[in-house]
Amino acid sequence: MFSPEEIQSLNELEFLLYNYISKNKDKVIYMRIRDLADEVHVSTTTILRFCKKMNCNGFAEFKVKLKMFIEEEEGKLLNDDKSTFIEFMNRAATKDFEDSMKMACDAIYKSSNLLIIGIGNSGAIATYGSRYFASLNKFAVYIDDPFYPVSGEYLDNGVTIALSVSGETPTIINHVTRLKKKNSTIISITNSKSCTLAQMSDINISYYVQYETYKYFDITTQLPVMYILETLAKRVFNLTQKDKNKQL
């Protein structure tokens, strides 16, 4: 129901609304506009502006379309074509995306240590990412437990990569807040730059893909995140190799 272009057009408040609706579709179709505004802590004007961006003339029409979408989703097959990743790769070729990648690469290259954090599916990718960096001679540690204690001494000249699809996961936001207080440079990889985690990061890389759920489970593709981590690791490795070659 929400295209990548529509998602990318949302501002910070509208993205909060999008996240809530995506996770509470069955509830939203029975809500009044004022009830939804109170639940998400936004104005009714924000909701109407959101509906307009979704090509709906008001909240009533949006609820009708949402109800139709839910009914269609009940018996639908999951999207397994290449279009989502192809669309992401096209966005990865843009100057804004490349500028963010370059800033992240430079920060990691200059750092003394690297943490990669995430929970749930993002936690599994954090594990993969840390092993990938380590395989290319950049020591990295993953943390999938947001309450895991980290010494401030270890974070000296350190970088933290925080993974979150929504960028609104409270435990990740709290963890990043603690790491920022210990002067770790924060690089976030999120689905949108209009989220809390992106706003509080030193560098954000956003990938804008369709948010997907099956029943109550988040099944949003993690392919863009893997691509970003692998590309950063390879670029950091190449910078290190160039430095070594200069010293020969």
Residue whose structure tokens are 């949302």? 10
For 136-157, the pLDDT digits (tens) are: 999 999 998 877 777 666 677 8
Among left, alpha and beta (phi > 0; psi -120 to 50; other), residue 236 is alpha
Examine the fold and report which residue of 75, 110, 136 is the final residue of a domain before the chain moves on: 75
Say whether both 39 and 103 belong to one domain. no
Say whether both 121 and 180 belong to one domain. yes
pTM comes to 0.71
Task: Say if CB 207 and CB 191 are below 8 A apart.
Answer: yes
Q: Residue 243's pLDDT is what? A: 83
Say whether both 137 and 48 belong to one domain. no
How much is the average pLDDT of 6-28? 89
For 20-79, the pLDDT digits (tens) are: 998 898 899 999 999 999 999 999 999 999 999 999 999 999 999 998 888 777 766 676
Crossing angle of helices 223-247 and 121-135, in 10° steps, is: 20
CATH number of 52's domain? 1.10.10.10
What does the chain come to in residues? 248
Q: Residue 96's pLDDT is what? A: 93
Measuring CA to CA, which residue among 239, 232, 210, 218 is closest to residue 128?
232
Is the pLDDT assigned to residue 132 strictly greater than 90? yes
Say whether both 40 and 135 belong to one domain. no
Say whether both 201 and 118 belong to one domain. yes
How much is the average pLDDT of 174-187? 92
Q: What tokens appear for 226 in the block?
A: 């893997």
Crossing angle of helices 223-247 and 83-92, in 10° steps, is: 40
What is the DSSP secondary structure assignment for residue 216, as one 8-state letter? T
What range does the domain containing 155 cover? Answer: 82-247
For 84-105, the pLDDT digits (tens) are: 888 889 989 999 999 999 999 9
For 196-214, the pLDDT digits (tens) are: 999 999 999 999 988 887 7
Inter-CA distances, 1 with 55, 68, 140, 211, Å? 11, 10, 38, 10
Examine the fold and report which residue of 51, 75, 99 is the final residue of a domain before the chain moves on: 75
Our count of domains for the chain comes to 2
Q: For residue 238, count other CB atoms closer than 10 A to its CB.
A: 13
Say whether both 59 and 132 belong to one domain. no
Q: Residue 176's pLDDT is what? A: 93
Is the pLDDT assigned to residue 238 strictly greater than 90? yes
Q: Residue 237's pLDDT is what? A: 96
